Amino acid sequence: MSTVKNDNIRRVTVHVLQSMKNRGEKISMLTAYDYSMAKLVDSANIDIILVGDSAANVMAGYETTLPITLDAMIYHAASVVRATDRALVVVDLPFGTYQGNSKEALHSSIRIMKETEANAVKIEGGKEILESVNRILSAGIPVMGHLGLTPQSINKFGTYVVRATSEEEANKLIEDAHALEDAGCFALILEKIPATLAARVASELSIPVIGIGAGGGVDGQVLVLHDMLGITQEFSPRFLRRYHSIGNEITNAVRKYIVDVKSQDFPNEKEQY
């Protein structure tokens, strides 16, 4: 277990997560992409911070996650790692940096680990990416799998609807989940699949299974931070619980500031030198 900077807090490790699953304690996970947000999330004692390639949507305004580069992910991840004392930091391997070429997958993962000091990488897909998973694991880099709705494959499916609703798709997902566990992944994300299927996978696998839109029968939950805080307001799938509407509060604060500037209320005498 790695020690960290202050208060004798120890960083969550993959072993800590495994023992949480073993004793039935649910795992909390959120995304973060920058220093300031990551510091707030970490100080609330989240277990895992995901530097997701959803940064492409949330930070850069792209419609899909495909355009984000490895360099951009490294920039975001290094900022997040600098902010965290406690959470395990997992970084998404972006589209085009691991598919079909396990040596490139290893090279991309090594860059992430060396240049960001994150704790693990996440990779989308099942049996088709096993060679990459094996090669990354051979370098001692922990790998989190991701099945169900895999946003990097959006062009193959054309929609973000619930996945694995047919028996054939569900069976493939179960086989893929076992293959990722057998390969040595330390955890698995299941995105937007029926709750009964997700619960079955979580009970069959010994590694932690974390869900997003996958019901309560899994070992933990992940949400995109900006969605649950109400910063991104246009995205409202059924699985999303909004814990705040910070987006509105920010806009209102900015409106007040504009009024104060225009009316010359700001700055007042105490706010100048």
Q: What are the residue numbers of the active site?
A: 191
Residue among 61 and 263 whose Cβ is closer to ligand KIV:
61
CB-based contact 74:111 (threshold 8 Å): yes
What would the DSSP string read from start to end of 72-140?
Answer: HHHHHHHHHHHH-SSSEEEEEPPTTSSTT-HHHHHHHHHHHHHHH--SEEEEE-SGGGHHHHHHHHHTT
In the complex with ligand KIV, the residue whose CB is nearer, 27 or 168, is 27
Token pair belonging to 180: 């990722």
Distance of closest approach, residue 23 Cβ to ligand KIV, in angstroms: 24
Residue 89 or 264 with smaller CB distance to ligand KIV: 89
Q: Least distance in Å: CB of 259 to ligand KIV?
A: 36
Q: Are strands 209-212 and 143-148 parallel, antiparallel or unpaired?
A: unpaired
Quote the least distance from Cβ 50 to ligand KIV, whole Å.
6
> CA neighbours within 13 Å on the CB side: how many for 10?
8
Rounded to a whole number of angstroms, the CA Rg of the chain reads: 20
**Which candidate, 108, 103, 110, 168, places its Cα nearest to that of 131?**
103
Binding site for ligand KIV (CB under 6 A): 31, 50, 52-54, 92, 189, 191, 212, 222, 224
Are the beta carbons of 47 and 20 closer than 8 angstroms? yes
Q: Which is nearer to ligand KIV, 50 or 130 (CB)?
A: 50
Q: Which is nearer to ligand KIV, 71 or 265 (CB)?
A: 71
Q: Which amino acid is at 59?
A: M
Rounded least distance, CB 3 to ligand KIV, Å: 28
**Of 2, 21, 202, nearest to 117 (Cα)?**
2
H helix and E strand count, the chain: 11, 8
CB of 135 to ligand KIV, least distance (A): 21
Of all residues in the shown chain, the one whose CB is closest to ligand KIV is 52
